[in-house]
């Protein structure tokens, strides 16, 4: 529910230098903090549940779906502001989610596709030894949205969004999502 507010804030701030007198929208700040908190709690609770409870296919599918949705938040934030004070926390959340998803892949093979997607979009931001880890992504805001929306809302037709450049396509992500049983 709060994710669009977070995404809008990150996109509107991208490349801008905040001034000391900049007034932030109090309600947006609350929504963004709630979004970050919900994502953090979801990653933690699903990971702990998966580690400690009986593992079965149903728990795996539900856990995988909600864990993947939750981890998109720190991934998005880390890619756009890797030098933020919260970046280390985001890296920890992503790493925890990746370990859980890797464990889930023992029950549902397609979980490895989710893990592969996470590595492909944020791998360079997780490895401190790489030169580019501290630099925000160079993808345009439109491309990021085009690439993230199919992951967050698999049935959304992004071409119906206001201001969407129809020359941008997210076919590789759509193809990826279509490979996963239950997401067709």
Task: Flag whether the pTM goes above 0.75.
Answer: no
Closest CA to 115 of 180, 44, 166: 180
* Domain endpoint, select from 87, 108, 130: 130
Output the six-digit token pair for 81.
Answer: 């502001």
**pLDDT tens string 111-145:** 998 899 898 888 778 876 545 456 677 776 567 66
> Do residues 43 and 100 share a domain?
yes
Output the six-digit token pair for 154.
Answer: 């698999």
> Do residues 174 and 119 share a domain?
no
Number of folded domains that form the chain: 2
> Do residues 118 and 53 share a domain?
yes
> Do residues 115 and 147 share a domain?
no
**pLDDT tens string 55-105:** 999 999 999 999 999 999 999 899 888 888 899 999 999 999 999 999 999
Is there a domain that residue 2 lies in? no
* Domain endpoint, select from 103, 130, 157: 130
> Do residues 33 and 119 share a domain?
yes
Q: What angle do CA 159, 162, 164 make, to 5 degrees?
A: 50
> Do residues 80 and 164 share a domain?
no
> Do residues 144 and 107 share a domain?
no
> Do residues 158 and 111 share a domain?
no
Residue 78, domain extent: 29-130
């Amino acid at each position: 529910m709060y994710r669009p507010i977070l995404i809008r804030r990150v996109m509107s701030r991208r490349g801008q230098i905040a001034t000391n007198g900049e007034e932030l929208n109090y309600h947006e700040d609350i929504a963004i903090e709630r979004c970050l908190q919900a994502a953090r709690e979801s990653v933690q609770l699903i990971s702990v549940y998966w580690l400690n409870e009986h593992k079965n296919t149903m728990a795996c599918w539900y856990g995988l779906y909600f864990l993947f949705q939750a981890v998109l938040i720190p991934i998005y934030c880390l890619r756009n502001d890797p030098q933020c004070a919260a970046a280390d926390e985001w890296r920890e959340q992503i790493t925890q989610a990746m370990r859980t998803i890797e464990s889930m892949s023992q029950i549902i093979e397609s979980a490895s596709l989710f893990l592969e997607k996470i590595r492909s979009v944020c791998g360079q931001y997780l490895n401190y030894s790489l030169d580019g880890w501290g630099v925000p992504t160079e993808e345009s805001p439109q491309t990021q949205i085009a690439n993230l929306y199919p992951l967050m809302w698999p049935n959304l037709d992004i071409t119906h969004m206001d201001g969407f450049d129809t020359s941008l396509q997210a076919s590789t992500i759509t193809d990826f999502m279509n490979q996963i049983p239950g997401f067709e």
